[in-house]
Structure 1
Amino acid sequence: MSADRLGAERTAALAQIAALTREFDAVVAASQASNADDEHDPEGATIAFERQQLAALLEQARRRLAEVDAAVTAVEAGTYGRCETCGAPIAPERLEARPTTRTCIACAT
């Protein structure tokens, strides 16, 4: 796995966090500006639901960033591509599919 690929993954995660944060802030601002009773609105999802959905997506994006950062640290330490559980090499195909994986397929199952 190249540092370039991890750098691209990190950039994508940061962009996703920024976009979700803007969207979350817009939903919060819209809910503060409105006095609508969204809990009983038959027209669709409530503002509270949208806010919680965005909060969950934002948390997921932050976890993704943390995983990428851990992989970058492993590259710098020379331990990237080695299973954290058994120490065996992680198959290149697994690293290609999941660049932030920390375990070999045997330990993951």
Structure 2
Amino acid sequence: MTGGSDPEREGHGFAAEAAALVERLRADLRERLAGMDRDMERMMAASLDSNADDEHDPEGQTIAYERAQLASLTAGLREHLAELDDAAARIAEGTYGRCAVCGEPIAAGRLEARPAARTCVVHAR
């Protein structure tokens, strides 16, 4: 998104640009999550057919560790998707780009770096 003065934020262009960006990011995350879900299903299916004692395998990580790592990554992506869903709702209601604490505009650079940002830099701490 391109930055600009506050009057530019009030216009349809800012909201449309923000909506397009957020929707692209949401679609990308949904696709990545679907892939990770498939990976988890394959990993679970493979471990059911295996008699391997992976806990004592000196060659690498255990299957349980790999599952936990994938589950953690998936949970992080789901959380980010929820943040983007919330950003989409703020766009729809016209509050996107305003700090949830002070109501002032969130800097364009912050929104470019974190499109789901709810607060300005001052209140992000």
- After TM superposition, the score normalised by the length of structure 2 is 0.85
- 1:64 aligned partner, one-letter code: H
Please give the alpha-carbon distance, in whole angstroms, between the structure 2 residues aligned to 1:4 and 1:88: 23
- 1:101 aligned partner, one-letter code: A
Q: Which structure: larger Rg? A: 2
Task: Give every structure 1 segment of 4 or more consecutive aligned residues whose post-TM-superposition deviation is greater than 2 Å.
Answer: none
What is the match of residue 98 of structure 1? 114
- 1:67 aligned partner, one-letter code: E
Q: How much has 1:55 moved relative to structure 2?
A: 0.3
Q: How much has 1:64 moved relative to structure 2?
A: 1.0
Which segments of 5 or more consecutive residues in structure 1 lack a partner in the other structure?
A: none
Matching of residue 28 in structure 1 with residue 35 in structure 2: no
What is the match of residue 77 of structure 2? 61
**SS of the counterpart of 1:88?**
coil
**SS of the counterpart of 1:86?**
coil
Please give the alpha-carbon distance, in whole angstroms, between the structure 2 residues aligned to 1:14 and 1:35: 33
- 1:103 aligned partner, one-letter code: T
- 2:88 aligned partner, one-letter code: V
Output aligned runs, 1:79-98, within 5 Å.
79-98=95-114
Q: Which has the higher contact order (CA 8 A, sep 6+)?
A: 2
Match of 1:74 among 82, 86, 90: 90
Q: How much has 1:88 moved relative to structure 2?
A: 1.1
- 1:76 aligned partner, one-letter code: A
Q: How much has 1:2 moved relative to structure 2?
A: 2.0
Match of 1:15 among 20, 26, 31: 31
- 2:58 aligned partner, one-letter code: P
Query: RMSD of aligned C-alpha atoms?
Result: 0.8
Please give the alpha-carbon distance, in whole angstroms, between the structure 2 residues aligned to 1:69 and 1:30: 33
What is the match of residue 51 of structure 1? 67
User: Identity of counterpart residues, as a percentage?
Assistant: 50
Which segments of 5 or more consecutive residues in structure 2 lack a partner in the other structure?
A: 1-16
